[in-house]
Homo-oligomer: A and B are copies of this chain.
Amino acid sequence: MNEVKVGIVGATGYTAIEVARLLQSHPSAKLVAATSRADEGKPLAEIHPSLAGRCDVQIETFDALAIAEQCDVVMCCLPHGASAETVRELANAGTRVIDFSADFRLSSVKVYEKWYGVTHPWPEKIGQVVYGMPEFFADKIRDAKIVANPGCYPTSAIMPLSPLIKAGLIETSDIIIDSKSGVSGAGRSAKVATLYCETNESISAYGVGTHRHGPEIDDLVKRISGTAVSTIFTPHLTPMDRGILSTIYVRPRNADGKNKLASAEDCFACWQACYDESQFVTPVEHLPATKHVSGTNYVQMAVRPSGDRLVLICAIDNLAKGASGAAIQNMNVMFGLDESTGLK
């Protein structure tokens, strides 16, 4: 087939540059257009000097029709609220869209509006956009016009939790997710809080009890497992560029009418069965570190007993499997390529 022509809308951030980086080595897709309000007319390589000599795309003024004409698919890297409107324009102009924002991830307009504090600009679309996690939704992604690319923290929690909940191995309430993210998750806008000297040599919690990825986790685990769950989620800012480690505390259940609680081995076997076909999700014996998956689309997960609980540990790269790698994986599925093309 022909090379997939890709555009990026909102090209100045870290997820955008990661898309550009991954496309450099993609054998069947090519970056052909980019827009960014702040940097119109500049070469993309001027904004991201790591592309110098490797990419001659110029940042153009956003025009949905012009972009749609050039691109088979657009990576929409805009913030929530702003994104939905642009996604609509692009879809109407006839191109397929992978939306990096949270605008189409949740099932409920009400939940969205409560947690994001904005009126949804395209509410009738909510619930109709597939969640871009090919491990569970490949069939719908294949033909989707619009894909809601998953959140980074949710990916690190949904992937270990969903199979265990579905298999009835763990309790659905009393799930505690303690997540640690690299600083790139906070974006590339100029803020004192993410200056080097504020975040280096320091770890801190933020958004305790109030982070928007909490409801996304609950929503998706329910959609995948068929069972409602209630989780407690605490994100932490960790002094590193990339990576998310989620340490998840769960209670084992008496599964399948058996008379004993599910063990760490039972959970491991459940993961192996669930992710048998997956090219990226890897249950591991060792305790995963974010470095083990840095810069890759891989997911490593391990499980250990601790007191009367089980501890699930999941490592991803927040910019790759947590954002841009997942987007490329979605694109591969959308265009009939092997899901790992350009991602190994």
Chain A residues proximal to chain B, CB less than 8 Å: 14, 24-25, 27, 46, 49-50, 52-54, 176, 178, 180, 182-184, 188-192, 194-206, 208-209, 230-234, 236-243, 245, 247, 249, 282, 284, 286-296, 298, 300, 304-309, 311, 313, 315, 344
Contacts and interface: CB of A to CB of B under 8 A. Distances in A.
Contacts of A249: 176, 178, 232, 249
Contact of A241 (B50, B201, B209): B201
A334 to B, nearest CB: 21
A307 B232 contact: yes
A201 B287 contact: no
Given A176-B176, A282-B53, A291-B50, A232 B200 contact: no
A49 B306 contact: no
Given A234-B247, A289-B204, A197 B209 contact: no
B294 A240 contact: no
Contact of A202 (B176, B200, B290): B290
A194 B190 CA distance: 9
Task: Report the copy number of this chain in the oligomer.
Answer: 4
Contacts of A292: 49-50, 52, 202
A208 B313 contact: yes
Contacts of A295: 295
A195 B194 contact: yes
Contacts of A189: 192
Contacts of A241: 196-197, 200-201
Given A284-B52, A289-B49, A344-B24, A183 B197 contact: yes
Contacts of A304: 208-209
B195 A192 contact: no
Nearest to A48: B292
Given A190-B195, A284-B52, A242 B311 contact: no
- Scoring A178, A206, A237, A305 by chain B CB atoms within 10 A of each residue's CB, the highest score goes to A178
20 contacts: A49-B300, A52-B282, A53-B298, A54-B298, A182-B201, A188-B192, A188-B195, A190-B190, A190-B195, A194-B196, A194-B197, A196-B199, A201-B291, A202-B243, A204-B287, A204-B290, A204-B291, A205-B287, A205-B311, A232-B249
A271 to B, nearest CB: 12
Most B Cβ at <10 Å: residue of A49, A236, A309: A49
Contacts of A233: 306
Given A204-B245, A239-B238, A290-B204, A195 B197 contact: no
Contacts of A195: 183, 188, 190-191, 194-196
